């Protein structure tokens, strides 16, 4: 079984899987400039908080590697890179991983020596490290998440649990394995998974287009539901529908634990609480934002109306394959209707049972508050 890869990279070459074409078509775009990286992210050909940071960092790394880079002094090159990073930061506003990567990259180029070449080399090495570290991070999140869940559901006769996830947080949203979906992968590898449910995740359908694809690709026992079926599922509590935990990713976890994630996450947390189901956020420390005190300070991206009023369709042939030549935009609503399309919502910390990072699971203290001091002491 081939591993799904959102990003393929070797020094001087970055290829990004066009996720808008999934699950029907597998096509990689070459990304070799900051504009191409920006465009891939803004149009959501690549999406998911860690993958956004990786593509922005590596896209600029390729541009710098290929050159020519204007300026002769290290200071001129630092100014050039700063400007490019500030531009890339505007691509999507809610996920904080890109901002954290930019802070890291800016610090690195300032300590990379006195020559133009050393600054460029420093940037490229740091971008590559961000990419490489992400996979290790996700594997660790998988282990900590599986361990945390085991402690919660240890009482079941066979130690397995059914879970629900939302949006896509798998290999397609990261450098590999994934965060929330990574925990599901690890549960499956450990024999701890009974069944995985994934939501469709309207309006962009990251669940049905991407997560369902990843689950099927890996042979994980799984079922797709629409977002509006979650309450009924939670109430069922029979056989594989007895959901032990909701596991979601994060675009930004702020200082008090409030978490921005894909629109629809908040309602799942409310429903989980009402049905006695654990609610777990899986987030690398790069998704933690200590600069922002509460969820009220998070900027929520609003996207274009067409995501609600139109879909892309294609004819399915008798053999089940897609007729590429038949691609059309289909109206799903009156095109004149007013639309509100926030891409994310904020789940209040009180609804979250654990934030699982690559450094361990964090639960609320006796004061009912999250404290990330031990997880990111260097940023506290
Ligand atoms: O709009 P998207 O597809 O970029 O939203 C993605 C999510 O909300 C994910 O849950 C989050 O980025 C975590 S990905 C590991």
Identify the pLDDT of residue 150. 93
Say how many Å lie between the CA of residue 64 and the centre of ligand 1: 28
Please report the DSSP string for 321-336 in residue order.
Answer: -EEEEEEEEEE-S-TT
Say how many Å lie between the CA of residue 261 and the centre of ligand 1: 6
Ligand 1 pocket test target in 6, 7, 48, 248 with most atoms within 8 Å of CB: 48
Cα(277)–Cα(275) distance, rounded to whole angstroms? 6
- The alpha carbon dihedral of 117, 88, 265, 334 has a sign of negative
Count CB-CB contacts under 10 A for residue 68.
6
Identify the pLDDT of residue 154. 65
Q: Is 57 left (phi over 0), alpha (psi -120 to 50) or beta?
A: alpha
Q: What residues are annotated to the active site?
A: 251
Identify the pLDDT of residue 54. 98
What is the position in ligand 1's atom list of the atom closest to the CA of 179?
15
What is the position in ligand 1's atom list of the atom closest to the CA of 301?
1
Identify the CA nearest to 245 among candidates 172, 178, 371, 151: 151
Nearest-5° Cα angle at 263, 286 to 39: 65
Identify the pLDDT of residue 377. 87
Identify the pLDDT of residue 1. 63
Question: What was the ipTM of the complex prediction?
Answer: 0.99
- pLDDT tens for the chain, 380 residues long, are 677 999 999 999 999 999 998 988 889 999 999 999 999 999 999 999 999 999 999 999 999 999 999 999 999 999 999 999 999 999 999 999 999 999 999 999 999 999 999 999 999 999 999 999 999 999 999 999 999 999 988 656 678 999 999 999 999 999 999 999 999 999 999 999 999 999 999 999 999 999 999 999 999 999 999 999 999 999 999 999 999 999 999 999 999 999 999 999 999 999 999 999 999 999 999 999 999 999 999 999 999 999 999 988 888 888 877 787 888 899 999 999 999 999 999 999 999 999 999 999 999 999 999 999 999 988 88
Ligand 1 pocket test target in 92, 137, 261 with most atoms within 8 Å of CB: 261
Nearest-5° Cα angle at 175, 135 to 45: 165
* This model's pTM is above 0.90: yes
What is the position in ligand 1's atom list of the atom closest to the CA of 181?
15
Identify the pLDDT of residue 129. 98
What is the position in ligand 1's atom list of the atom closest to the CA of 47?
4
Identify the CA nearest to 165 among candidates 191, 189, 193: 193
Which residue, judged by its Cα, is nearest atom 8 of ligand 1? 262
Residue 7, strand partner residues: 16
Say how many Å lie between the CA of residue 318 and the centre of ligand 1: 34
Cα(260)–Cα(369) distance, rounded to whole angstroms? 17
Which residue, judged by its Cα, is nearest atom 15 of ligand 1? 169
Ligand 1 pocket test target in 137, 138, 250, 252 with most atoms within 8 Å of CB: 250
Say how many Å lie between the CA of residue 369 and the centre of ligand 1: 25
Task: Work out the angle between the directed axes of helices 74-89 and 34-42 (0-180°, nearest 10).
Answer: 20
Say how many Å lie between the CA of residue 40 and the centre of ligand 1: 15
Pocket-forming residues, ligand 1, beta carbon under 6 Å: 47-50, 95, 167, 169, 173-174, 179, 206, 249-251, 261-262, 343
């Amino acid at each position: 079984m081939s591993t799904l890869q959102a990003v393929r990279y070797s020094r001087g070459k970055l290829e990004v899987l066009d996720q808008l074409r999934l699950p029907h078509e597998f096509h990689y775009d070459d990304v070799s400039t900051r504009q191409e990286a920006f465009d891939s992210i803004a149009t959501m050909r690549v999406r998911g908080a860690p993958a956004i940071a990786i593509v922005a960092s590596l896209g600029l790394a390729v541009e710098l590697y290929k050159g020519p880079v204007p300026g002769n002094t290290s200071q001129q090159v630092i100014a050039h890179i700063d400007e490019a990073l500030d531009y890339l930061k505007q691509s999507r506003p809610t996920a904080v991983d890109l901002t954290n990567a930019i802070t890291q990259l800016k610090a690195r180029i300032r300590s990379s020596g006195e020559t133009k070449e050393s600054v460029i080399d420093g940037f490229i090495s740091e971008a590559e490290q961000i990419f490489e570290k992400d996979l290790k991070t996700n594997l660790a999140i998988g282990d900590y998440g599986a361990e945390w869940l085991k402690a919660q559901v240890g009482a079941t006769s066979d130690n397995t649990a059914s879970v629900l996830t939302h949006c896509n947080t798998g290999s397609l949203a990261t450098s590999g394995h994934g965060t929330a979906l990574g925990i599901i992968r690890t549960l499956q590898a450990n024999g701890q998974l009974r069944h995985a449910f994934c939501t469709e995740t309207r309006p962009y359908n990251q669940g049905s287009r991407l997560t369902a694809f990843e689950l099927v690709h890996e042979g994980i026992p799984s079922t797709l539901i629409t977002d509006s079926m979650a309450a009924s599922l939670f109430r069922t509590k029979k056989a594989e529908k007895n959901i032990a935990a909701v596991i979601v990713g994060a675009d930004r976890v702020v200082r008090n634990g409030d978490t921005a994630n894909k629109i629809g996450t908040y309602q799942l947390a409310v429903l989980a609480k009402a049905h006695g189901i654990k609610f777990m956020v899986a987030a690398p420390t790069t998704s933690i934002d200590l600069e922002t005190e509460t969820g009220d300070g998070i900027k929520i991206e609003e996207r274009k109306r067409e995501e609600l009023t139109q879909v892309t369709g294609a004819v399915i042939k008798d053999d089940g394959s897609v007729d590429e030549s038949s691609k059309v935009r289909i109206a799903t609503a009156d095109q004149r209707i007013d639309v509100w399309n926030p891409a994310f919502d904020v789940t209040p910390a009180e609804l979250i049972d654990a934030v699982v990072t690559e450094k361990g699971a964090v639960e609320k203290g006796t004061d009912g508050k999250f404290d990330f001091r031990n997880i990111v002491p260097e940023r506290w």
